[in-house]
Structure 1
Amino acid sequence: MAILLQELTRPEAAARLAQMPVAILPVGSTEQHGPHLPLGTDIFLAEELAKRVSDATGAVVLPSLNFGYSWGWRDIPGTVTFSEKLMEEILIETARSVERYGVKVLVFLNGHEANTSAMKYAIRRVQDEVSVKLLGMFYPGIKEVYARQMESPTWGGMFHADEFETSLLLASDKKDLVQMDKAVREYPPVPPLYGMDDSSIGVISTSGVYGDATLASAEKGEAMMEEFARRTAALIGVALAGAQG
């Protein structure tokens, strides 16, 4: 059973972290995911994976970071976006906080690809300062898992509200929020200056989908989620052995 920090009492939290000094912070976003997925898709997926990893390892799951770097969707209703610098500071302060009571490994478990840079630079900035081992993870082994399980290609290497994310959410405890009757397929043309100027992903797709959401299934999602959980748990084991060694 997943161990959620917010549900523990003070003595329970102290005992759990003394026994298993690993904490997982689910990191996501609040932003559009097309006509068929909820705005909380990224954080829901990070939470689902975190719970499965907690089941496997006994690690404590911290309260989720529901907002992320969502600049591209900033004009879409419902979006809340942090700057990358603010994201870095939040992650750094989290590391400083958990170190004070003996956490040995802190995992930033990310469900929103655009947060990756903030995680990387937060770890680089603070790792020399803190003793806690920091890990930034975004679906470990994703390329291999995607190639084996997905029928549709990505949109230029990126996925958003597509077969991948829709399948994963169908395998989560938020599956009832998926409206498959509204799922669509869209591969919008890539603007010639995209990635080189301030072109926003928020205006490229008409539907908000980048890929083929119609091919999604709970079976695919379950297979992928279980593999991501196994890979994440194994990496945590490696990090914890090093931190305690």
Structure 2
Amino acid sequence: MINVACCSYYGMHHNVSGFAIVWCVILLSHNFSRKIYCLENPMLLKNMLPYQLADCVQSGNPLLIPAGCVETHGPHMAIGHDTIIVEEICHLIAERTDCAIAPSFDYGPTGYALGGPEDGTIDPDYDSFGRYVKSILKNFITMGFKKTYVIIMHQGMEAPLALAFKKAAAELTFESTLAAGFSPGWWGREEDMKKAGNVWGRIEVHPMILATASPPAGGDHAGYNETSFLIATRPELVQQDQLDGNAPWYCRQSESHNSWTANKKHGQEMVDAVVDTWIRKINDERA
């Protein structure tokens, strides 16, 4: 049986003026738990009702966690770029495959490498941030998610942001296994290994741009690539007319490919490649 419900959705970041009517299709059958698919609203964890969360977890759907920072991105872009672009990518992924999207980790480490608080940059205490990350990830494990992807578009996989998540994931792998009742020395015991399953892959930490998405996708800081990414997804957060001769060095790393020449076409090509690559990965690894 299929019930069709109508909901109102106001989406400023989708260039919707006023109220847009969005059709949500609720599929009910003996083979499928109750799932709600909304064309304009992916499975945002903070919007779920308890039964929706239970259905999502029981269906083996993965959890996507956008992680980024608040950091200056030149005079022409939003300071939240690194989190915003991951959120947009996660939204597009959720439109094509079943998953949940966690509230973002916005306040990641920056090292004040490209500017300070006066430029809009935040740099938290690293130890405190690491403890916070671990405590939240632990809750997601307890919540029942069997697969979690932390997706990052900031500094790289050996920088403090990614390392905080990787360290937390590694520690929780061991701690949650013992908490599940496995006694010390469980590793190597055939029966325990079979029961435990693939404990190592429960939380994965990855760059937003997976290897097979590049080219065309690439990284930089507020230059040709990042500016194009945001033009393609959130154009209202880019003002290239703010660029002038005083723009930071990272805006002008190439004569032909820079913040001034960034464009929607290049951005869309990168977005499509990134999303397609993530869809393949998630579906291939689906629990």
Normalised by the size of structure 1, how large is the TM-score? 0.77
2:99 is aligned to 59
Counterparts of 1:123-138 in structure 2, within 5 Å, are 123-130=169-176, 131=199, 133-138=202-207
Structure 2: state its 5+ residue gaps: 1-38, 177-198
Provide the identity percentage.
Answer: 21
Give distance in 2, aligned partners of 1:237 and 1:87. 31
TM-superposed CA distance for 1:29, in Å, is 0.6
1:181 is aligned to 241
Cα deviation per residue 1:91-112 (whole Å; 9 max; x = unaligned)?
3222211111220111111122
TM-superposed CA distance for 1:12, in Å, is 1.8
Does 1 or 2 have the higher relative contact order (CA < 8 Å, sep 6+)? 1
Structure 1 runs of 4+ aligned residues shifted over 4 Å read none
Q: Radius of gyration: which is bigger?
A: 2
Task: Flag the 1:39–1:22 CA change in 2: closer, same or farther, 3 A.
Answer: same
Structure 1: state its 5+ residue gaps: 151-157, 187-204
Give distance in 2, aligned partners of 1:171 and 1:86. 35
2:140 is aligned to 98
Select the residue among 231, 243, 247 that pairs with 1:170.
231
Give distance in 1, aligned partners of 2:50 and 2:280. 28
Residue 17 of structure 1 pairs with residue 57 of structure 2: yes
Task: Please tell me whether the aligned partners of residues 60 and 286 of structure 2 are also in contact (alpha carbons under 8 angstroms).
Answer: no
Cα deviation per residue 1:3-57 (whole Å; 9 max; x = unaligned)?
1112221222222222243111110111100010011111110101111122222
Task: Please tell me whether the aligned partners of residues 35 and 208 of structure 1 are also in contact (alpha carbons under 8 angstroms).
Answer: no
**Larger proportion of helix:** 1
Task: Please tell me whether the aligned partners of residues 70 and 81 of structure 1 are also in contact (alpha carbons under 8 angstroms).
Answer: yes
1:159 is aligned to 220
Select the residue among 96, 102, 110 that pairs with 2:152.
110
Structure 1 vs Structure 2 CA RMSD = 2.6
